[in-house]
Amino acid sequence: MPSLLGLFFDRFARLAPALLVPELRLWSAQDLTAFWEACQAATSNPTLELPYWAVVWPGGAGLARYLLDHPDMFEGKKVLDLAAGSGIVALAAARVGAISTANDIDPDALELCRLASQINGLQITDLPGDLLDRDPPSWFHVILAGDVFYEQRLAERCMRWMRMAARAGLSCLVADAGRRYRPQVGLTPLASYTVPTLPEVETTAAKEVTVYEIGR
Ligand SMILES: C[S@@+](CC[C@H](N)C(=O)[O-])C[C@H]1O[C@@H](n2cnc3c(N)ncnc32)[C@H](O)[C@@H]1O
């Protein structure tokens, strides 16, 4: 599939302090629906999936806020942002002094993370591809995931994988905005945030986001 980043930067991208996390500047689509339609037209694919990386999701914003509010938990740690999207969690990790890696299956997401790290003067490494069918990499200390419970299969795979990582001794945190497929067991709440939302993305003006630790 062609990169959609050119289209994003030509007509839709806006760089601004992130909602709830003004310490970081992130690119977001000014009109996600219009951008999505433009992507479908550009690829001649009317069923093309939403370009998720084109906005910061409430779960990612809440998790990034948690990192910035608890820097001592992450400073000096090797941290993986699973399903990084626009990169807000990976950037927050780098900002508090973690050795930060962003993973996403979408190459456009990882390129946007790289550009966002440059504009914020932070360093992150990327780890492309789908990690969820392999053992979690043992060299990380912390695995983080923002807003991954919106699809059943992804929710189940992420949870299974992060549980494996937790059992291997890694610290695993996930932040959720009340998505349909959030698991009902195995999550210990650590903090909650009210996150302002974008009207075209959510049906309410704000979302309650909870940061959870995944048990072993
Ligand atoms: C709703 S977005 C969340 C992005 C970011 N964490 C945030 O909160 O703003 C979900 C992201 O998961 C990515 N994704 C979906 N399946 C994945 C997989 N198996 N492995 C890694 N990333 C995946 C998508 O490409 C997308 O960027």
| Ligand 1 atom nearest residue 59's Cα | 8
Closest among 137, 143, 93, 135 to 113, alpha carbons compared: 93
- The mean of the pLDDT values for the chain is 95
Per-residue model confidence as pLDDT tens digits over 30-66: 999 999 999 999 999 999 999 999 999 999 999 999 9
User: Is residue 153 very low, low, confident or very high in pLDDT (cuts 50, 70, 90)?
Assistant: very high
For residue 202, is it within any domain? yes
Ligand 1 atom, smallest distance to 131 CA: 20
Cα radius of gyration rounded to whole Å, the chain: 16
User: Which pLDDT value is given to residue 2?
Assistant: 64
- The CATH number of residue 70's host domain is 3.40.50.150
What mean pLDDT comes out for the span 181-205? 88
Task: Determine, yes or no, domain membership for 42.
Answer: no
Ligand 1 atom showing the smallest separation from residue 145 Cα: 6
Residue 12 is assigned to a structural domain of this protein: no
Q: How far is the CA of 11 from the centre of ligand 1 (A)?
A: 23
Q: What is the mean pLDDT of residues 139-149?
A: 97
Q: What is the pTM of this model?
A: 0.96
**For residue 66, is it left (φ>0), alpha (ψ between -120 and 50) or beta?**
alpha
Q: State CA 16 to chain mean position distance.
A: 17
Task: Tell me what pLDDT residue 196 has.
Answer: 87
* pLDDT at residue 8 greater than cutoff 70: yes
- DSSP states of 68-93 as a string? HH-GGGTTT-EEEEET-TT-HHHHHH
Nearest to 164 by CA among 90, 82, 103, 48: 82
To test the ligand 1 pocket, which listed residue (86, 106, 153) has its Cβ within 8 A of the most ligand atoms?
106
Residues having CB within 6 Å of any atom of ligand 1:
52-53, 56-57, 59-60, 83-86, 88-89, 103-106, 109, 130, 132, 146-147, 150, 154
41 Cβ contact partners less than 8 Å away, ≥ 6 residues apart: none
Q: What separation in Å is there between the alpha carbon of 84 and the centre of ligand 1?
A: 6
Q: Is residue 46 part of a domain?
A: no
The residue contributing the CA closest to ligand 1 atom 25 is 106
Mean pLDDT of 159-163: 97
Q: What are 26's two structure tokens?
A: 């992130």
Is 41 a member of any domain?
Answer: no
Whether 202 shows a pLDDT value over 80: the answer reads no
**179 located within any domain:** yes
**1 band by pLDDT with thresholds 50, 70 and 90:** low
Is residue 200 pLDDT above 80, yes or no?
Answer: no
Q: Please tell me the predicted confidence (pLDDT) of residue 197.
A: 84
Q: Which ligand 1 atom is at minimum distance from the Cα of 175?
A: 8
- Inform me whether the pLDDT recorded for 134 exceeds 70: yes
Domain that includes residue 129, residue range: 57-214
**Which of helix, strand or coil describes residue 153?**
helix
The residues near 69 (Cβ < 8 Å, ≥ 6 apart) are 191
In a domain, 187, yes or no: yes
In a domain, 17, yes or no: no
Interior angle at CA 61, CA 56 and CA 67, nearest 5:
140
Q: How many domains does the chain fold into?
A: 1
137, 171, 176, 138: which is closest to 154 by C-alpha? Answer: 176
In tens, the pLDDT along 70-129 reads: 999 999 999 999 999 999 999 999 999 999 999 999 999 999 999 999 999 999 999 999
The yes-or-no verdict on residue 210 having pLDDT over 70 is yes
Alpha-carbon distance 124 to 67, whole Å? 15
